[in-house]
Structure 1
């Protein structure tokens, strides 16, 4: 494939500022007070509600919806925050369609669940906008000091709960800003108005938490030293590594990591300066692939395709998210496995896939049939991995399984007085709401272990 055959280029400013503002506006504008009241009235307030069991943080969903119906949004928000201190962000990014809303009795009866996520956002946003006081108070000082590594949902959830118990917490974050996945890994149209930083600052209102940015484990701080200097340690640094693409030509200019691109896009102050290709191909089947593809289209890419090596039902991105991508003009193609990337003078011009087939037991086989797509930009969204070197410095060693940290039900690691949670632990589900619950569980275990 020659450069003449691929006339597309990677460039910025494909759309006007007005078009960019429209494309990157809030994916789901907040409900009005009346809309929230009407939606709350649809809830059956089930006894032993299945939605509560489906929520990883165990929010009392019928109670907070009843409080909204009773015109008590701040009481509803307090109910939410009791279980999930990141209730505002989770209301925006949680896959409610596969969690609480999927099991909603209304969904079973009418194929239209109560919009639990939108009601959660209505309550939490109202509280954060109208109430100046933090909803929780610190217990008396215990004199105990805990180190938390990672200022993402797991680390900050843990830090907040520990601060509630009266402990002093120092959070070490490798990046320039706290927030973790919420700040760097979520599509811009899902986290408008700088909600990630607003929520972090609001969370810190409880007091007793200090954040030190630019401090990476294994470089600036070390696990063995932290364990010696603090009464307990919580590890919540997420996944720093990115899985490599083994296709030929994977290092060609124009072929890049979707995770890094999304992070850069979230930090830009001028979307018109973000370059994007005319023909973009995203490799992967998860939320990162969806977010990269949709945002490429929103920036003005002419043609965007998601290519996934398995079938539609095997995609980790939900049907709803796939629908969002499709309605934004993204083409979703299945059973395509990348084989080689074409380049001219080092620049991407296209990519060849081999069709795959499943034997019914989730095992894939190559069919030998090839498909070539023209492309001037390729994003790899094929998963992230944990970098174990950071936790093995200075002789400190943790048990790993599948490249991630092994923990028990209380999120204890194999190392004394060291806990872990979030994406870095074995068996994690790579969801913000799950990371929040990990941090909460670990904090209660740490508090009990300290006996303060």
Structure 2
């Protein structure tokens, strides 16, 4: 849904820039989890049992050999550890920052089961990958040229992982990216305090060090660039363009804006003290996008921020750790309430909600309602394909693929958020892009 006219401008009543001094905003958006020092990394690594049948590996969507890389850190070999990580997940640096490790590898950790305190796998992964990137080293080289040329639509996590693996295997890759900047979700859709210092772009440039990959920016898969044209000029095509559309709230006029749009603007704003934010902010949704929009609104100086989710708290897709981070930041979370209508505009706006309850036949309204005043309303109720490529079979609003990422059209693969399956995580997109690349390589042999 497009944003309302002037819904986020400084002139809109109740929405203003500079609610906090620049130095306070800079502190608020500093690194959420500072990196480990070598000594801290050694101590953290020493807690690992180095399980032979490690459940943490199974819990990782990219199947990183976690005990091996932690053992390498413990023996003071962070570069070797990084190579172990990156051989499975070329975006391991970003994933170390944004993966919900608390529900993946760390939840499966034997230390978590025994002591409720897992090995800090995510922070150890960051220590290793930061070390190799700081040295400017690229751990892989290209195989002998194959003479094959593959098109990748989208320079997000899935597209980049696919392109990198194909380049390693000796193929030439052209990435067609609609925006003027690569990175996809990593650049435009993740909270700024998780990836400060321009890390997404630094990792992108580092990844391209493999060679054999060219990115054509400002080129969308639309009328001027059809699947037919891509197939005619390339030996295979991978679609990894994410989800460009957003689900509409459809509850009347008001200062309503997609949370994804707000987060993208925030990520591209150099001076956050100039970014307007409401005094009273309401976020509708229960996933990571809702949490990121709510927390960042608070960090920008919003006085009241409320996230409202229609089901019970245990069913929020945002992890418990992220929910706690939001409440620690001063964000209120209300569950069991569904939006009914938006009333008014600007500083006079409010959202009316109906309380809900879970029943055997599904969610139902109780008949009780309440209102939240808001001069800024963000919707985080899911994304959709902005435009499905012609001729490709869809399922559940996404591109239907098999276990190797093959679509219904020969010679075309897909992965990441635009494809069916997975859980819309960076790490899952990386796994799908990498696996599709291996299948593409196999098909071209």
Instruction: Please say whether Structure 1 and Structure 2 have the same fold, judged by a TM-score greater than 0.5.
Output: yes
Q: Which residue of 2 aligns with 1:110?
A: 115
Distance 1:288 1:267 in 2: 17
Q: Superposed, which structure 2 residues align to 1:37-76 within 5 Å?
A: 37-76=42-81
Q: Which residue of 2 aligns with 1:277?
A: 278
Q: Which residue of 2 aligns with 1:432?
A: 426
SS in 1 for 2:365: strand
Distance 1:241 1:16 in 2: 34
Distance 2:358 2:176 in 1: 44
Distance 2:368 2:440 in 1: 55
CA contact (8 A) 1:388 1:404 kept: no
Distance 1:339 1:176 in 2: 38
Identify if the C-alpha distance between structure 1 residues 11 and 398 changes in structure 2 by more than 3 Å, giving closer, same or farther.
same
Identify if the C-alpha distance between structure 1 residues 224 and 347 changes in structure 2 by more than 3 Å, giving closer, same or farther.
farther
Deviation at 1:348, TM superposition (A): 5.2
Distance 1:143 1:373 in 2: 61
Q: Which residue of 2 aligns with 1:288?
A: 289
Distance 1:144 1:261 in 2: 40
Deviation at 1:427, TM superposition (A): 1.7
| Structure 1 residue runs without a partner (length 5+) | 1-6
**Count of residue pairs brought into register by the alignment:** 434
Instruction: Tell me the C-alpha RMSD between the 2 structures.
Output: 1.2
Q: Which residue of 2 aligns with 1:365?
A: 364
**Residue 405 (1) aligns with residue 399 (2):** yes
Q: Which residue of 1 aligns with 2:444?
A: 450
Distance 2:44 2:330 in 1: 30
CA contact (8 A) 1:176 1:214 kept: yes
Q: Which residue of 1 aligns with 2:378?
A: 379
Distance 1:348 1:55 in 2: 47
Q: Superposed, which structure 2 residues align to 1:91-170 within 5 Å?
A: 91-130=96-135, 132-170=136-174
CA contact (8 A) 1:341 1:348 kept: no
Q: Which residue of 2 aligns with 1:89?
A: 94
Q: Which residue of 2 aligns with 1:244?
A: 248
Q: Which residue of 2 aligns with 1:326?
A: 327
- Deviation above 6 Å: which 4+ runs of structure 1? none
CA contact (8 A) 1:8 1:279 kept: no
Deviation at 1:270, TM superposition (A): 0.8
- Residues 78-111 of structure 1 deviation map (CA, whole Å, 9 limit, x = unaligned): 0000000000000000000000000100000000
- Residues 314-342 of structure 1 deviation map (CA, whole Å, 9 limit, x = unaligned): 00000000000000000000011000111
Distance 1:201 1:163 in 2: 15
| Structure 2 residue runs without a partner (length 5+) | 1-11
CA contact (8 A) 1:37 1:68 kept: yes
Distance 2:114 2:239 in 1: 43
CA contact (8 A) 1:255 1:348 kept: no
Distance 1:127 1:168 in 2: 25
**Residue 195 (1) aligns with residue 199 (2):** yes
Deviation at 1:34, TM superposition (A): 0.8
Distance 1:74 1:180 in 2: 27
TM-score under structure 2 length normalisation:
0.96
Distance 2:96 2:405 in 1: 25
